[in-house]
Structure 1
Amino acid sequence: MTKPYGISPYRYRNTEGQWTQLGWRVTIRRRGYIVDRRLNAEQFGGMDAAMRAAIAFRDEVNIECVPLSKREVCATVRTTNTSGVPGVIRTRDRGQDYWKARLLTCDGANRTRQFSIKKYGDEAAFDLAVQARSQMLEMVQGFYVLHPDIKNETRVAPMAECPVMRRPCKLEPEAHPYARVPECDVSGVGITNVKTTTADGKTYTTKYWTSTVRDQAGLPKRRYFSVAKYGEEEAKRLAIEHHLRAAPITTAAGDGS
Structure 2
Amino acid sequence: MDNEVSRTHGWLVTIQRRGVIYRKHFSDGVHGGKQKSFAAAKVYRDEIIANYPPFSMREYSNIVKKNNRSGVVGVCRYCASETRDMPEEKQRWFWVASWPLPDGRRKRVKFSVKKYGEDGAFNMALTARKDALKKLEGEFDPGAVRRKPRRRSKAASQASA
Q: TM-score, normalised by structure 2?
A: 0.61
Query: In the TM superposition, what whole-angstrom CA distance separates every residue of 1:133-173 from its partner, at most 9, and x where no partner exists?
Result: 121224544431469xxxxxxxxxxxxxxxxxxxxxxxxxx
- In structure 2, what is the equivalent of residue 183 of structure 1? none
Which of these residues, 104, 107, 111, is aligned with residue 108 of structure 2? 111
The residue type paired with residue 63 of structure 1 is A
Alpha-carbon distance change, 110 to 145 in structure 1, aligned in 2, over 3 angstroms: closer
The residue type paired with residue 29 of structure 2 is E
Contact 2:96 2:108 in 1 (8 A): no
Contact 2:11 2:38 in 1 (8 A): yes
Whole-angstrom CA distance in 2 between matches of 1:81 and 1:62: 30
Which of these residues, 35, 48, 51, is aligned with residue 64 of structure 1? 51
Whole-angstrom CA distance in 2 between matches of 1:145 and 1:131: 25
1:3-152 matches, within 5 Å, as 9=1, 11=2, 18-91=5-78, 98-103=94-99, 105-106=101-102, 108=105, 110-114=107-111, 122=119, 125-142=121-138, 143-145=140-142
The residue type paired with residue 103 of structure 1 is W
Alpha-carbon distance change, 42 to 79 in structure 1, aligned in 2, over 3 angstroms: same
The structure whose residues are more often strand, as a share, is 1
The residue type paired with residue 26 of structure 2 is L
Alpha-carbon distance change, 31 to 96 in structure 1, aligned in 2, over 3 angstroms: same
Alpha-carbon distance change, 70 to 106 in structure 1, aligned in 2, over 3 angstroms: same
Q: Secondary structure at the match of 2:13?
A: strand
Whole-angstrom CA distance in 2 between matches of 1:110 and 1:137: 11
Contact 2:75 2:125 in 1 (8 A): yes
Report how far residue 50 of structure 1 moved.
1.4
Alpha-carbon distance change, 35 to 109 in structure 1, aligned in 2, over 3 angstroms: closer
Greater relative contact order, per chain length (Cα 8 Å cut-off, separation 6+): 2
The structure whose residues are more often helix, as a share, is 2
Report how far residue 37 of structure 1 moved.
1.0
% identical aligned pairs: 32
Q: TM-score, normalised by structure 1?
A: 0.41
Gaps of 5+ in 2: 81-89, 145-161
The alignment covers a number of residue pairs equal to 133
